[in-house]
DNA sequence: CTAGTAATATGTCAACTGTATTGGAACAAG
DNA sequence: CTTGTTCCAATACAGTTGACATATTACTAG
């Protein structure tokens, strides 16, 4: 066996270079060559790890989902045990908003990915599945919170889940400096306060 | 004076061709040449009306704002006189969601524009101003509704405005077929029902 | 030491990009 | 008609793109 390299690690390095480009210059500048330059390797090396640009985008997006989940898990770990569902939802939502550098990078990558997914069946199916999965997680928390009496039994779990996810709509307002990050957090907290019957 | 052509009309024709491309194939395919082809003219003609691609994008986006405003005005005209603020907000919000062909075209164009605006100072300033203006309109309606007793006086106008705009976050859920358009409307109505103290 | 293969670099290719330039057709005012 | 300007088509240009092919390097198992 010849020279061995951690394939996964190399792909993640490339993916992070792609993130930086998407964040700083937009996905239009995220060509195979530019990504290679950003990663400090030749474009042939990038092709060695990703047969096509699309494969690279797909991996980078899967990596976004992973890293966001990790950040959420980290945030939840800092909560009490058992954590209050209100706080769990708050962590999930705030980590999806571009409120700190890591979140901004993944947020912009997600936005670019969704836009591409509208015109690419493969990406569409993947984005759909990922988003549906995330939505299911939220709905599960909402249902449990209703069962546990944290949320009124008159609330419809599906609708409440959709309204929670709707809070990601704050993203463009934050990114374009229409509102301050603090105002975004106020909105999130206000929404959660009205959803939960008990104040954590 | 030589041959005269309705400059404005020609530009709108080109802008609509750009919309179609952005909607159907994504902004990446909206090159000057492709737009010209879609519009059925030479790319030299496009250059005659727009010195640069950016100028074309800016005009197309301004046109999006105009047309969206017109659709909203049309929807409001069909309401009672004076229209209930709840219904006005409902028209504004639903016309910003991709729930029918025209709205989907302008919605996708807006999304692409915002993404570009993150890395272009000129577009950023324009997108910011446009969004701020729209936000101000909503806030004005909210303030008036509070003054008129349609919304509880305990509500903070700024936060309520932000939460209303947040409903545009339903867009990716609709576009990626995570939820049905009907569910989106249910969410909008649920939100409005909770905002207004009187049921229109 | 020697294959043999993974890792990486470099080169080629046709296609496409935005912009600039040129030339002429259409047309209105003098 | 002549002049001047708008309209617009055609072409040139320099640069970038993704994909593919080739070349070189580095390392390891036998």
**Helix, strand, coil content of chain A in percent (nearest 5):** 75, 0, 25
More reliable by pLDDT, A81 or B164:
B164
User: Is the CB of A185 inside 8 Å of chain B's CB atoms?
Assistant: no
pLDDT tens for residues A122-153?
999 999 999 999 999 999 999 999 999 999 99
Verify whether the Cβ–Cβ distance B173 to A135 is below 8 Å: yes
Verify whether the Cβ–Cβ distance A175 to B131 is below 8 Å: no
| Residue linked to tokens 């980078």 | A60
Contact B160, B135 (CB under 8 A): no
Instruction: Supply the pLDDT for residue B174.
Output: 98
Q: Is cis: bond before B11, omega within 30 of 0?
A: no
* Residue range B164-180: mean pLDDT, rounded: 98
**Res A190 pLDDT > 70:** yes
* Residue range A61-85: mean pLDDT, rounded: 96
Separation CA A113–CA A186 (nearest Å): 28
- B 2-31 → A contacts, CB under 8 A: 24-28
Separation CA B98–CA B121 (nearest Å): 27
Q: Note the CA–C1' distance, A74 to C30, in angstroms.
A: 80
* Residue range B37-62: mean pLDDT, rounded: 97
User: Which of B168, B172, B191 is closest, CB to CB, to A131?
Assistant: B172
Contact B21, B33 (CB under 8 A): no
Q: Which nucleotide is nearest to A46 (CA to C1')?
A: C8
Q: Note the CA–C1' distance, B11 to D10, in angstroms.
A: 22
Q: Note the CA–C1' distance, B4 to D8, in angstroms.
A: 13
Taking CA atoms, what residue in B is nearest to A195?
B194
Mean pLDDT (chain B) is: 96
Exposure string of B32-50, with b = 16+ CB inside 10 Å and e = fewer, is bebbbebbebeeeebeebb
Separation CA A133–CA A91 (nearest Å): 17
Mean pLDDT (chain A) is: 96
User: Which of B108, B163, B178 is closest, CB to CB, to A135?
Assistant: B178
Instruction: Say how many CA atoms lie within 13 Å of B120 toward its Cβ.
Output: 18
> Quick one: what percent of chain A has pLDDT higher than 70?
98
The two counts, helices (H) then strands (E), for chain A are 10, 0
**Res A112 pLDDT > 50:** yes
Distance between B168 CA and the closest CA of chain A, angstroms: 6
**Res B189 pLDDT > 60:** yes
- Element at A92 (helix H, strand E): helix A85-96
Picking from B134, B117, B192, the residue whose alpha carbon sits closest to that of residue A166 is: B192
CB proximity list for A63: less than 8 A, separation 6 or greater: A12, A15
pLDDT tens for residues B152-171?
999 999 999 999 999 999 99
pLDDT tens for residues B91-121?
999 999 999 999 999 999 999 999 999 999 9
Q: Note the CA–C1' distance, B3 to D10, in angstroms.
A: 21
Handedness of CA B29, B31, B37, B38 (dihedral sign): positive
Verify whether the Cβ–Cβ distance B128 to A190 is below 8 Å: no
> Quick one: what percent of chain B has pLDDT higher than 70?
98
**Res B1 pLDDT > 70:** no
Strand D neighbours among A 52-91, CB < 7 A? 52-54
CB proximity list for B1: less than 8 A, separation 6 or greater: none
For residue B6, the tally of other CB atoms under 10 A from its CB is: 9
User: Is the CB of B108 inside 8 Å of chain A's CB atoms?
Assistant: yes
Tokens of B180: 């049905």
- B 115-174 → A contacts, CB under 8 A: 115-119, 124, 127-128, 131-132, 135, 156, 158-159, 162-163, 165-173
Q: Is cis: bond before A82, omega within 30 of 0?
A: yes
- In a 10 Å sphere around its CB, with 0-12 CB exposed, 13-18 middle and 19+ buried, how is residue A23 labelled? buried
CB proximity list for A39: less than 8 A, separation 6 or greater: A13, A14, A16, A17, A46
Query: In the beta sheet, which residues pair with residue A151?
Result: A196
């Amino acid at each position: 066996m010849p020279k061995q390299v951690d394939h996964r690690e190399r792909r993640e390095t490339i993916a992070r270079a792609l993130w930086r480009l998407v964040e700083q210059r937009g996905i239009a500048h995220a060509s195979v060559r530019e990504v290679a330059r950003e990663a400090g390797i030749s474009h042939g090396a990038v092709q060695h790890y990703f047969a096509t640009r699309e494969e690279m985008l797909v991996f980078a997006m899967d990596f976004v989902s992973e890293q966001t989940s990790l950040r959420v898990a980290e945030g939840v770990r800092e909560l009490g045990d058992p954590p209050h569902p209100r706080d769990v939802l708050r962590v999930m939502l705030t980590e999806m908003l571009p409120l700190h550098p890591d979140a901004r990078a993944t947020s912009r990558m997600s936005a670019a990915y969704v836009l591409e997914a509208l015109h690419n069946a493969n990406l569409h199916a993947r984005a759909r599945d990922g988003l549906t999965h995330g939505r299911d997680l939220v709905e599960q928390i909402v249902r449990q919170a209703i069962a546990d009496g944290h949320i009124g039994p008159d609330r419809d779990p599906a609708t409440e889940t959709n309204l929670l996810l709707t809070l990601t709509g704050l993203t463009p307002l934050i990114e374009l400096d229409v509102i301050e990050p603090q105002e975004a957090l106020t909105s999130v907290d206000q929404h959660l306060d009205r959803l939960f019957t008990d104040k954590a």
